[in-house]
Amino acid sequence: MHPVERSACAKVILCGEHAVVYGRPAIALPLPSLRAVARVEPATGGLTINAPDIGRTVRLCDAAADDPLAQIVRLTLAHLNKAAPDAMITIRSAIPLGANLGSGAAVSVAIARALAAYVGAELSAAACSALAFEVEKRYHGTPSGVDNTVIAYEQPVWFVRGCPPEVLSDITAIAADLPLVIADTGRATPTHIPVGDVRKGWERDRARFETLFDAIAEQVLRAREALQQRDWRALGKAMSANHALLQQLDVSCPELDTLCQAALAAGALGAKMSGGGRGGVMLALARDADHVASLSAALRAAGATRIYQA
């Protein structure tokens, strides 16, 4: 059998994180330039998964049931009704861990795609998303399903938990032109921690949290309308308002707030954290393509460890 490679992209949540777990909508965008790549090639002695970026090698026959790398392999083989081949799966990723860019879901989708192709099968985007979602439950406890969905489809997605994802084909080209700067705080917090803390807060005071979730949903609706109209100023206002609401949920942190403030001081139209929070990345909306460079420089000066562009 010949070696096979498949990949999957990173993602950002443009608006709606956390509230999406409670039935409100979210908009997520793919980051096609930032990817995880899985390579499957013939080997002997069973199936082995090698992840040199994190210094891990896992033999499928020895792996624990909850090992995420082994889990996506087992789920994929079971879905395809295939036996494990004698093969080596090598996974490499340019997506930083703990940055809220969907690294875990991207690795799962890349492995599922590559393994399916290696055994002569194909997986639909829906199947890849469903398989990765099962692994996401291990990473995040009560994931919304946003990460695996936008990564598997690799298009902008309107997501409401419990409903089929809506691929936003009408804004795919618009989103590709969005002058979005992504800055990493360099602080990593496992997503399940802020997600769990929001759950505890919601259980203590459901009325307050439901009101905040409704307010976030309103900003998501405004963001979608702004995207459709290419109204960057309206989009920026929705992003900043969304961040203020996430601060009230206590899922931001000083590093994220500092970068958001620096972005606005440098002329950004809007700024917000993206993803689980308490670290990871924030988004800043530049005025136009010419503004991206100076905005990026301002974010680096304010402490960003890495800068990406959508």
Which residues form the catalytic set? 147
CA–CA separation, 70 vs 65, rounded Å? Answer: 7
* Neighbour count for residue 1 (Cβ, 10 Å): 12
Determine the Cα–Cα distance for residues 245 and 212; give it in Å rounded to an integer. Answer: 7
**Helix (H/G/I), strand (E/B), else coil: 55:** coil
Helix axes 206-228, 192-204, angle to 10 degrees: 120
How many of the other CB atoms lie within 10 Å of CB of 161? 15
How far apart CA 28 and CA 33 sit, in angstroms, is 15
Neighbours of 64 (CB within 10 A): 8
Categorise residue 81: left if φ over 0, alpha if ψ from -120 to 50, beta otherwise: left
Closest CA to 15 of 150, 206, 139, 127: 150
The set of residues, in sequence order, having a beta carbon less than 8 Å from that of 240 and lying 6+ positions away, is 260, 264, 270, 271, 272
CB 129 within 8 A of CB 148: yes
